[in-house]
Amino acid sequence: MDVRIVVETTFENGTTQTRRLGRLSRPFRDTQPKGFGLLIEDAKSMLWQLQQTILRDQIEEISEASRVSPDCNKVRAIHGYRPSVLDTLFGRFQVKAPRIRRCACNAKSEVALGGPLSPLARFSPDRSTPELQRLQAEPGARHSFREAARIMEMFLPCAKQANTSVRDRLGKIAKKISGSEYVEPAVSSAGKSAAPVTVFPDGAHIRSRPEYQKRHLDVVVGKIESSHMCRRFGLVQQAAQAPAR
């Protein structure tokens, strides 16, 4: 059998665009167990193409709608296009972000604000979608950063994920969650000039082996980073005389 995937987009003004994304061939006489149904590589390819189509149509519709001045309803001119990179769960895309000239009909609200208007700026201030940011942070909180990056690349057509990107994203999300609840710890005058230190802890419960061990172990591992130092540590609390230190 042959499967053709077609996307039909209907805009708010009533116009319709139809695009053919791709084609899958599954001849039943040649079908093997490993080729039964939709394969993960097929899904990645289709999701990448579908995301590209949706983004292109959304940018086109938002750009056209943003050209209409809210004060005089005149159509504003496009100053130019600025290439930009947008990271999503389903791929990294080069997009052409339009820059629209501000209207002079209301000098206080339009001209006084400065240069050309970028209607796409509010949708991707970090050049990545909120869904990608959340999915970078959640596996990063549950697994090692490299493992979280590997899992995302395995199942999604996203761009190559670096362990440092997952780590930084988790840090940003943690700061947003803490928000106003965070209380700056008291620091002595001697330590005010010290560089900030970041601690990444993890742990595991290791069960004893009956033939020669007598107790279970709780192991804490982690990494301490600062601008001039990076150290890894491991701790078995039952075997340490001063675990807190």
pLDDT 10s digits, 71-90: 787 888 888 888 888 899 99
Q: Are 99 and 83 in contact (CB under 8 A)?
A: no
Q: How high is the pLDDT of residue 26?
A: 75
More confident residue, 210 or 86: 86
- With a cut of 70, say whether residue 112 has pLDDT above it: no
Greatest mean pLDDT range, 49-53, 115-119, 215-219: 49-53
pLDDT 10s digits, 5-44: 888 989 888 889 888 888 887 777 666 676 677 888 888 9
Share of the chain above pLDDT 70, in %: 85
Q: How high is the pLDDT of residue 126?
A: 79
Q: What is the mean pLDDT of residues 125-146?
A: 85
pLDDT band at 91 (very low <50, low <70, confident <90, very high): very high
The pTM is what? 0.65
pLDDT band at 92 (very low <50, low <70, confident <90, very high): very high
pLDDT 10s digits, 163-173: 888 888 888 87
Q: Average per-residue pLDDT in the chain?
A: 80
